[in-house]
Chains A and B, each alone.
Chain A
Amino acid sequence: RKEVEQDPGPFNVPEGATVAFNCTYSNSASQSFFWYRQDCRKEPKLLMSVYSSGNEDGRFTAQLNRASQYISLLIRDSKLSDSATYLCVVTGGFKTIFGAGTRLFVKA
């Protein structure tokens, strides 16, 4: 079993749709959680950190469920510019594990 698993997609959604991504992790001692966005073969960029209390940044909402060991990302009112690969990232100590990413295509 991979340490961090994501549905690879692709997710094809129309503009304005709401889309949700899930990510599961296997190490219960994991400490920090993030969602990154990566455009085609460019460097990943931090989208948001993920906390147990949940956090929201505009159209994006992230949730962490430690008991079930999963992380979610919700994107509301999808824009064409949201088309990218979304990476789930889990850290424990100094080790960092990236999910393989979920590809999102938003179409007009």
Chain B
Amino acid sequence: EAQVTQNPRYLITVTGKKLTVTCSQNMNHEYMSWYRQDPGLGLRQIYYSMNVEVTDKGDVPEGYKVSRKEKRNFPLILESPSPNQTSLYFCASGAGGGFPGGYTFGSGTRLTVV
């Protein structure tokens, strides 16, 4: 089954404790991206990757890091989480060339930073 897998689904952590949210896709997609979703603000792009070892900032990259060492994986790293990073996070992947098939999203990670 074609899918994007995110882990964990839920995470409660304390301020300053480094964490990683994993994202993996099995569709051989070149493009992967991370979003956060907050009430009233919709989904905002954090980082995206056009291919292995190629990443770029989205609209809200502060406080986040990513890496793309393999085509299938695109982890999101919070080196020192803060309460304003409490949010619902989605990973997505898509084929290149204008994404004719749109994106496939993971099931989301609900992060709470206390």
Contacts and interface: CB of A to CB of B under 8 A. Distances in A.
B45 A31 contact: no
B102 interface: yes
B40 A100 contact: yes
B88 A100 contact: no
B98 A43 contact: no
Contact of B31 (A94, A97, A99): A94
Contact of A44 (B45, B90, B110): B90
Interface stretch (A14-22, A34-42, A54-62, A76-84): A34-42
B108 A43 contact: yes
Contacts of A99: 42
A42 B88 CA distance: 10
Bin the interface of chain A by size.
Answer: 20 to 34
A97 B41 CA distance: 11
B43 A94 contact: no
Contacts of A45: 105
Contact of B42 (A34, A94, A98): A98
A49 B56 contact: no
Contact of A96 (B41, B45, B100, B106): B45
Given A41-B88, A42-B108, A98 B43 contact: yes
Contacts of A43: 90, 105-108
19 contacts: A32-B98, A32-B99, A34-B102, A41-B88, A41-B108, A41-B110, A43-B107, A44-B90, A46-B101, A87-B42, A89-B102, A91-B99, A94-B31, A94-B48, A95-B45, A95-B58, A97-B59, A98-B35, A99-B42
Interface of B: 31, 33, 35, 40-45, 48, 50, 56, 58-59, 88, 90, 98-108, 110
Given A46-B102, A87-B43, A98-B44, 17 more contacts: A31-B98, A32-B99, A34-B102, A41-B88, A42-B107, A42-B108, A43-B90, A44-B43, A46-B104, A49-B100, A91-B99, A94-B50, A95-B58, A96-B48, A98-B42, A100-B40, A101-B42
